Structure 1
Amino acid sequence: MHAEEVKEIIESQLENSQVITAGEGCDFQVTVISEQFNGLMPVKKQQLVYQCLNEYIANGTIHAVTIKTYTPAQWQALQG
């Protein structure tokens, strides 16, 4: 699997999200920026992203994934 495929999977399931991916093979780093994360605890944010990838983790296509999640406001604050 390629990083671009991981990006497409997450973006197709988390509407209006921005996804930045890195990695290849079965080990990926994923940054997800989404309004859906507003008001959620960090673990719940990660669960939303894992739900998108569970099928691929279960069948071994993805072995390891590191997830960072941000609201658009949090992401903008990091960039400034």
Structure 2
Amino acid sequence: MHQDDIVTRVRTQYPDATIDIAGADCNFEIHILSDGFAGQSLLQRQKGILALFKDELQSGAMHALTIKAKTPAEKAAESS
């Protein structure tokens, strides 16, 4: 899977997202900032993103996906 494919898929659910991605082949780390995460627990955020890649994870086309999902306000609070 290519990084562009991952970004495109995440944007289908979180169109306002700022996305930073690292990795290649079948192991990726993705940092997502979106107001769409407001009111969601960490587990809900993880499950929502992982669901977008369910088939790839089950087939082994993607082995690992590390997800850091925050709202812009949460990110700003970390910086101060």
TM-score range, shorter chain: 0.7 to 0.9
| TM-score of the two chains, using structure 2 as the length reference | 0.84
Question: Which residue in 2 is equivalent to 1:4?
Answer: 4
Structure 2 portions without partners, runs of 5+: none
| TM-score of the two chains, using structure 1 as the length reference | 0.84
Residue 48 (structure 1) aligned with residue 72 (structure 2): no
* Structural RMSD (CA): 1.6
Deviations 1:2-38 (A, max 9, x none): 2222111111232322221110000000111111211
For 1:71 and 1:14, locate their aligned partners in 2 and report how far apart those are by CA, in whole Å.
11
Structure 1 portions without partners, runs of 5+: none
5 Å matches for 1:59-74?
A: 59-74=59-74
Q: How much identity, in percent, do the aligned residues show?
A: 26
